[in-house]
A = this chain, B = another copy of it.
Amino acid sequence: MKLIGNAIVGQSGGPTAAINATLAGVIRGALAAEEIKTLYGAFNGVEGMLAGTICNLSEIFANEADIITLEHTPAAALGSCRLKLPKIGEKDEVYEKLFDFFRANDIRYFFYIGGNDSMDTVAKLSAYSANHDWKMNVMGVPKTIDCDLAGTDHTPGYGSAAKYIAASMQEILRDCAVYTVKAVTIVEIMGRDAGWLTCAAALPKDICGVAPDLIYLPERTFNYDEFYEDVAAALERHPNVVVAVSEGIRLADGTYVGEGSQSGAVDIFGHKYLSGTGKTLEQAVKGKLGCKVRSVELNILQRCASHVASETDLSESVAVGRAAVEGAVNGMTGRMMNFVREEGEEYKISIGSEDIQKIANAVRTVPDEFINERGNYVTDACIAYIKPLIMGEPKIEYKDGLPVHFEIKR
């Protein structure tokens, strides 16, 4: 028997250029589903469900034009949170409070758009619901620019970040090429445990014939001696050397290269807070090779650059949000929607789902066959994997020279 009632959706984790596209997909799915009376949005994820700060998305998005604008709005229109739920059985008052909220608002469908840590929330809520007296279908919809979620070919948000990184890298390469003086430019790209974003720096090679000289990923141990050798060899070939590095590259003893500048700081999930990998390498190369060196940190720009989003990413992000609603109203629960890439030359994706318990807290890193032997570049197979994900340009509405965004008022 199908559940009938209201639905709630929340966004969690770091902002992306596509998380609102997925929200737009959930909204479209909910507006079309007979089983869902009203779709509520929770401000700041589960925090909003605990605080009762919600909004009526069915009303706010009665107009299709607003849903399209939402698709092109970066960050997280409902706000985000980094609240991690306790283990079930440890502090159950949190779950009791959440389920009081669900019961009071007749919430029968729960959608959570987020990354690794957010899928942990989905796993816990679906497990709790299964063993308590409020039946609710709980679905996770992936989102992370890092592309490091298990159980999916790639993640919504990755293609747009990859496109921004590739387009910016192409521009940086043009910029660096104008002078004849020997110079090294180090571009620091996000990625704590997985190098997927940094891999995207190689895309201009295939498409425009310009590329960084060296690419270092967290999947390989970073060795300063080899690095100096690589940079010196590149400077022999041409004066303007460009290096792409993941923020999360580590030395043989496990310490982060960028650790020096932010020693010991950790975020709420216990991840080491990193900043300064590029700056650290800049100083190192300056000291060792004595040439002009600068570093560029793409920083938060890379995760919210909706003005150069990938249309492939945005349309897939909408589709996966909608599919989550369709799955849920057909009885699915405790699962994360995923992308399955079909075999063959042509890029084709089908949307499926995976057991959430298998996905939460697992990290998918860049495989060996995508990294060269020396550990200082990516392979053609890697470029072929990423290339289809950055295809296409969304038709963005501009007003007075700037992209138009949709803001959900509180």
Binding site for B on A (CB under 8 A): 11, 15, 44, 47, 73-76, 79-82, 163, 166-168, 170-172, 174-180, 185, 203-204, 206-210, 275, 294, 296-301, 303-308, 310, 387, 390-393, 398-405, 407
Contact = CB atoms under 8 A, between A and B. Distances in A.
A305 B167 CA distance: 9
A203 B11 CA distance: 28
B207 A399 contact: yes
B209 A175 contact: no
B300 A296 contact: yes
B306 A308 contact: no
Contacts of A75: 171, 174-175, 177-178
A399 B206 CA distance: 11
A109 to B, nearest CB: 23
A378 B178 CA distance: 34
Given A47-B180, A301-B296, A304-B171, A407 B209 contact: yes
Nearest to A48: B180
Contacts of A171: 74-75, 301, 304-307
Report copies per complex.
Answer: 2
Contacts of A180: 44, 47, 79, 81
B174 A304 contact: yes
Contacts of A294: 275, 300
A74 B310 contact: no
Contacts of A82: 179
A402 B81 contact: no
Given A167-B307, A171-B306, A303-B175, A208 B404 contact: yes
Nearest to A275: B294
A76 B303 CA distance: 28
B402 A170 contact: yes
14 contacts: A15-B178, A74-B174, A75-B175, A80-B179, A166-B402, A168-B305, A171-B301, A171-B307, A172-B301, A172-B304, A174-B405, A175-B300, A209-B407, A297-B299
A390 B307 CA distance: 14
A401 B407 contact: no
A60 B172 CA distance: 24
